[in-house]
Amino acid sequence: MSNWIFALAAMLAYLVLAFVLGLLASRNRSFWSVSEYAVADRGLGLIVIWFMMGGTIFSAFSFLGGPGMAFAQGAAAFFVPAYVALGILPWYLLGPKVGRIGARKNFFTMGDFLGDRYQSRALTVIVGVISVLAFIQYLTLQIKGMAFVFNILTDGVIPYWLGALLAYGIVIAYVATSGVRGAAWSDVFQGALMLIVAWTVGYYLVYTLQGGPTEMFTSINETQPGFLTIGKEGSTMSAMAYSTVILVSALGFMMWPHLFTKSYTTTEKRIKLTTLAFPLFGIFMVPVLFIGFSAIGVVSMEQLDSEDQILPYLITYELGASGWLYGLIGAGSLAAAMSSSDAITHGGSVSLGRDVILPLKPDMSERTQIWIMRLGVLVIGAAAYWLSIFGAAGIIALLVGAYGSITQFVPAVYGALVWRRATRSGAIAGLVVGILVNYYYQIIADTTPLEMNAGFIGLLCNIVVFVAVSLLTRPVPHALAEEYRTA
């Protein structure tokens, strides 16, 4: 029997199990409760939260984009464990405050939080629109990852479009049915699987193809001097570009609305414990990057359609492994992509219903809100699926581009919590300027000043405009500002 048949069988079995777990999560839960759908009635446990937060990071980027970046860009790939370790730290202080305010005021989204603090329905809608667009961009890279896995591990028998549809269709089904709890249950299973697969495959490839980590890095350093450094001759990224992409990713991590709203789903103690334990995911990322390094000198770029294909290509064409190993790696890769896709899809649907539609029609019933959120799963999923099939951007570009937009929420969020003079005009003006500058340097300009990350330039402009306009405009009532500052 051909290896691809074993691989396909294993991956389909995994999809069925993930689907069943996602559906079972909603058993004995209210189907019509916004609180249940959006924040699991604020009752998720420590292990579930840890895996949900980690699953968002351990995504298609980790199994496909990360190794691809290590293979093509060398030391630049180490920005990943750096921002994973740093990005969660602000949640230790930010999370409990946001959680207390959210529980008191019955918030479900970042738009709820910022709209109330700045007393601006327009700001809520702007936050919702930016969130949904960034979610679609981030979701596209996950769907691309699922498609790569199916297509390559089945020797092309499953076409790109069908692989994406099979895997992401499962995600849509259980997210639309079970909400955040369905994503949470699936993420625990998917998270455990992908961590086991990452360490097993990472070190197996290093020792099989290179003889070990020492031999691997020695060989790379001899054949490609500077490839394992930043900002030196032979390196692929300047020190400025490397530093600013880490800053944007770390600052933007907790600004993702689906992560920000996890502050509403659990207790203060669990937030702090999760923050302390979460940097372990940075360590778990290291063997994933080793996969890409192990391919240097073994595979050439001419053999690939995209650097993102390096892991499935190694397994299929270099190792000659059994179909069951193909299936195991395929399941781990799908788990990585799906554990992010479900949280992103859910977050996007809640933002669409709560932040974009509800402010325009505030008298909507709770049942109507739920229907809009569930339909939002289909709308957002369809848009991301279309982009994954017809869009040309690679996984790395999609990830960094999405973070550039999301990081623009930083001034408004932190200003809401620490600066009583922060105003709605300042928040809106800063956000709009930051987004426009970010997209200008991402899409229109060929280069950025001093090779800084586009999102970082947007953030600097955002901060200046936010502070200047806030100082020139009327603040919200003192009591409201103090309620957020002292929460």
Reference 63, options 193, 231, 255, 244; nearest CA is 193
Residue 229: band (very low, low, confident or very high) from pLDDT cuts 50, 70, 90:
very high
pLDDT tens profile 164-216: 888 888 888 888 887 777 777 777 777 777 778 778 888 888 998 999 999 99
CA dihedral 89→189→156→400, nearest 10 degrees, is -10
pLDDT tens profile 51-75: 777 766 666 666 777 898 999 999 9
Q: What pLDDT sits at residue 463?
A: 98
Q: What is the sign, positive or negative, of the torsion defined by CA atoms of 459, 441, 260, 79?
A: negative
Q: What pLDDT sits at residue 64?
A: 72
**Which H, E and C letters describe 266-305, residue by residue?**
CCHHHHHHHHHHCCHHHHHCHHHHHHHHHCECCECHHHCC
In whole angstroms, give the CA distance from residue 239 to residue 140.
29
Task: Count the neighbouring beta carbons within 10 Å of the beta carbon of residue 39.
Answer: 26
240 vs 314 pLDDT, higher one:
240
User: Residue 408 above 80 pLDDT?
Assistant: yes
Domains by residue range for the chain, with CATH: 3-393 (1.20.1730.10)
In whole angstroms, give the CA distance from residue 54 to residue 378.
25
Please report how many Cα atoms fall inside a 13 Å half-sphere around the Cα of residue 252, on the Cβ side. Answer: 25
Q: What pLDDT sits at residue 164?
A: 85
- Model pTM? 0.84
Let me know: does 261 contact 110? Beta carbons within 8 Å: yes
pLDDT tens profile 372-400: 999 999 999 899 888 888 765 555 555 55
Residue 104: band (very low, low, confident or very high) from pLDDT cuts 50, 70, 90:
very high
Q: What pLDDT sits at residue 184?
A: 74
In whole angstroms, give the CA distance from residue 455 to residue 457.
5
User: Residue 356 above 90 pLDDT?
Assistant: yes
Look up tokens 């990360």; give the residue.
Answer: 66
